[in-house]
Structure 1
Amino acid sequence: MVVVGPDLRYAVPVVGGHHGANDLARELARLGIEPVITTATETRGRESVEGIAARSGCDIVNRDSTRAVNAAVLDADVPLYAIAGPGIVVAGPGVSFLVRKGEYVVGVGCRKDVPAADVTRAVSEAFREAGVAPAEVLVYATTEKKRGEAGLLAAVADLGGNLVFLDDETLNAEEAPSPSRASLIGLAGVAEPAALAVSKRKELVFAKQTYGSVTVAIAR
């Protein structure tokens, strides 16, 4: 939210400065309205997570992390790691995870010891059916229970993507439209909830499909 004075001299972001309000205030400068930016990072000459994401052409996967990270930025230099990938990132709650911009999140479930070729084939078939190109993928997501699944890890690396592991609470917070055998391991689902949990619009564009021992769903 940006408040503009009745004399049209100043534009002051009052809510959501790091989520578009600061940018809107700066845009109003083209009309001769002076932006008054008051977010702590900007007033102290520090770059926020959102600023780094915009400058780098990235999306923030876990937006809930930015408050803690931006607060830390005020006190000290916070390290920034760039990973070219393919790669896998396991991060704690105090880490903001940025990925190159893409629209789609691919949720993947699989049986134990699935071969990498089976996962790659399943995801590629899902892309073909959904009309999605690999370059349009923001990130791949699955349950943390698959952290040691070598075939899944190798397949995502082969696809040139990044894989995010989600905990049970995060997955079960999403409504799984399709029935799932994941209930046997205490989950409402894997592919669909994983895709929805990380997606920006929470819109399932490709419902879960099963390809042998692999399930795939796509959201945006």
Structure 2
Amino acid sequence: MKTAVIALKRFEEEGRRVADVLGGEFLPYFPEVFEEAFAAYEAVVAVMSAGIAVRKCAPLLTTKWRDPAVVVVSPDLRFAVPVLGGHHGANDLAREIGKKIGAVPVISTATEALGRPCVEGVAASVGAEIANPDSTLPVNAAMLDGEVPVYTVGGPAIVVASSAVSVLVEGGEYVVGIGCRRGTATESVVAAVRAALRTAGIGPEEVLVYATTAKKSDEPGLRDGVAALGGVLLYLSAETLNARTPPSPSRAGLIGLVGVAEPAVLALARRGELILKKKVYGDVTVAIGR
């Protein structure tokens, strides 16, 4: 991970030592240093009190999927405490610091503290991405209580899953949201998605997952279209879609939704970034994000 090490002036020597053993970049403290580090680094190590670090990080937080991992190292270099993104690199970084400078890693995430697996760890072990990040809360909670089954599905495939099922997908970065009118043909779905991908300059192999509303789970044209594209299709609940605020107006209000294509992207995209706002291709609407 690209790592920044920030230290208060009186602890610069200690900060530089940590940066050196990690191969990170040392940043002397100044008022906006955390803001700059959040924008440019995957991990931040703060050599200072946890209170200072937390107060500086708090206004910058978005989601654990976008924010950098943050580890606080006590000024005497005795403790390395993950405070943000424990399952997203901070725990491992704290352990690495411990090995290299002798600090004690203070791990507080429940699954790791209790010796249980977590969704993020399973995904990392198989080189996959979590297609529906919101699922990790209930699934990790279930992992604390007992064994959670893991199923491998060969593709092309369609996955219909509840919000308490984590879907891990190998490869790809982009999320494609699709809406369509009832009875839309397979060929129309394929043509629309390919046109949208060309507009965005993205190849089909770069798509992590396709998503639509659960209200379209009985649409064979949509299902078969995604299968023809070699993709995985997730059906999202109305609750999941309506929790988002899409930038474009939509006629999906007629079926009780704020939208389909754009909210589907915003629900699953790690960065929450729309790179192609919804475009209409005949009977099909497509949006793309990451």
TM over 0.5: yes
Letter in 2 for 1:135: E
Aligned match for 2:177, one of 107, 132, 138: 107
In 2, are the aligned partners of 1:119 and 1:151 still within 8 Å (CA)?
A: yes
User: Higher relative contact order by CA 8 Å / sep ≥ 6: 1 or 2?
Assistant: 1
**Structure 1 residues 161 and 24 mapped into 2: Cα distance closer, same or farther (>3 Å)?**
same
Structure 1: how far apart are the matches of 2:253 and 2:141? Answer: 39
- Structure 2 unpaired stretches of 5+: 1-69
Flag as ranges the 4+ runs of structure 1 deviating above 6 A: none
**Range with greater deviation from structure 2 (152-161 or 32-41):** 32-41
Among all aligned residue pairs of Structure 1 and Structure 2, give the percentage whose two residues are the same amino acid: 61
Output the TM-score relative to the length of structure 2.
0.70
CA distance in 1, matches of 2:95, 2:203: 35
More off after superposition, 17-26 vs 117-126: 17-26
Instruction: Summarize deviations over 1:13-68 as a string: whole Å, max 9, x none.
Output: 24432133202213324632443434333344332111111111112233333233
Bigger radius of gyration: 2
Q: 1:160 aligns with which of 230, 234, 238?
A: 230
Count residues in correspondence. Answer: 220
Q: Counterpart in 2 of 1:181?
A: 251
Q: Gaps spanning 5+ residues in structure 1: where? A: none
Look up the SS of the partner of 2:276 in the other structure: strand
CA RMSD of aligned residues (A): 1.9
Structure 1's 102 and 27: CA in aligned 2 closer, same or farther, altered over 3 A?
farther
Contact 1:104/1:136 (CA < 8 Å) preserved in 2?
A: yes
How far does residue 71 in structure 1 lie from its aligned partner after superposition?
2.9
Alignment match, 2:159: 89
Per the alignment, residue 9 of structure 1 pairs with 78
Report if aligned partners of 1:11, 1:33 keep a CA contact under 8 Å in 2: no
1:22 aligns with 2:91: yes
What CA distance in whole angstroms lies between the structure 1 residues aligned with 2:74 and 2:247?
47
Segment drifting more, 27-36 vs 4-13: 27-36
Match for residue 52 of structure 2?
Answer: none
Distance 1:47 1:125, change over 3 A: same
Residue in 2 aligned with 1:215? 285
In structure 2, how many angstroms separate the alpha carbons of the residues matched to 1:167 and 1:117? 25
SS in 2 for 1:178: coil
**Residue 171 of structure 1: aligned partner:** 241
Query: How far apart are the structure 1 equivalents of 2:156 and 2:123?
Result: 19
